[in-house]
Every structure is written in C-alpha cells, then in structure tokens.
Amino acid sequence: MIPATVPTEALFDRGRLPDASLPVHAWNDDGEPLVLWRNELRRAQSIEGFKDVRERRQIVGVVPGGGWMTEWQDPSEGTSFADPVVAWAVYSDGEARAIDTDSSGEAVLLSPSVKDRRTYHPGQIPDTPLPGEKTPGAATEDG
C-alpha cells in the first residue's frame, strides 16, 4: 500500500444528484485508489457509481482583501449593495476566490458564477457594470 501524498479524490456518479467525492487515502500495489468506505479501506472502483480520480483542490493560503469590493443587485427591489472583500482564499490550482462576511459576521466564500454579483477594485477603469446597468460615463444616444 502506498500512502496518498498528493490530495486526491475519487468521484462517484449519483444519478440526478451532483457527483459525490471521497478522499483517496492510499493506493494499492496495482495503483488503484483506496477510499474509506464503511469504516474500511476499499478500492474506489468496487464502489457503485465510481467515475474518476482527480487531484483535490485545497485552500493553501488566505491573503487580505486589498481594497477590493463585491457588489450585488437585488433584482426584485432594483437596489444594489456593496461590501469590502475581507480576504482572498488561494487554492492549490492558483484560483483565488473572494471572501465576504454575512450580516452576522460569518465568513463566506463567494461563488464566481453568481450572475447578479461582481467583484471589482475601486480604481478599476472602466467601471464594469452589473448585468442590466449602464456603464458610467458611456455616451447616450441623445448626445
């Protein structure tokens, strides 16, 4: 048995539900991934729904927000709100995701796929509008 020294996970298809994953704890002598399943190490391939093995992303560091802001719109109210990015979570693959706080002060990793939210630096030129907003300073058809 070879210990898993690089964080790796086995993926499992759960039908209509999102895929599940289990961390790979070791590799057998044939190079097959071993996962903890019902209190024992088992070959991932022997578990129903096994799909693939991939390197697992991990947060490897957190750096200060650096003056960045996050802004979002409430489409039903037509209002927007802005908060400072308190920090950035840096992942092992190099991606960085903004960290905001909710109304109770709980840290929240922001998803990059939220359509009514943008993250920007106040010194950013030109200003990138939220979907449906006009770009500040853009010429209008009237003049």
Q: How confident is the model at residue 130 (pLDDT cuts 50, 70, 90)?
A: low
Query: For the segment 76-125, what is each residue's pLDDT rounded down to a tens digit?
Result: 877 888 889 999 999 988 899 999 988 888 888 888 777 778 888 888 75
Give the mean model confidence (pLDDT) for residues 12-20.
Answer: 90
DSSP assignment letter at 136: T
- Give the Cα separation of 36 and 56 in Å (integer): 16
Which of 9-18, 32-41, 101-110 is least confident? 101-110
Cis ω on the peptide bond leading into residue 126 (within 30° of 0)? Answer: yes
Res 78: pLDDT: 78
Res 143: pLDDT: 47
The full 3-state SS of 66-113, as one line of letters, equals CCCEEEEEECCCCEEEEEECCEEEEECCCCEEEEEECCCCCEEECCCC
Q: Who has greater pLDDT, 43 or 143?
A: 43
Closest by Cα among 74, 16, 26, 17 to 53:
26
Strand partners, 14: 17
Other C-beta atoms within 10 Å of 117: how many? Answer: 19
Q: Who has greater pLDDT, 135 or 24?
A: 24
> What's the whole-number average pLDDT of the chain?
85
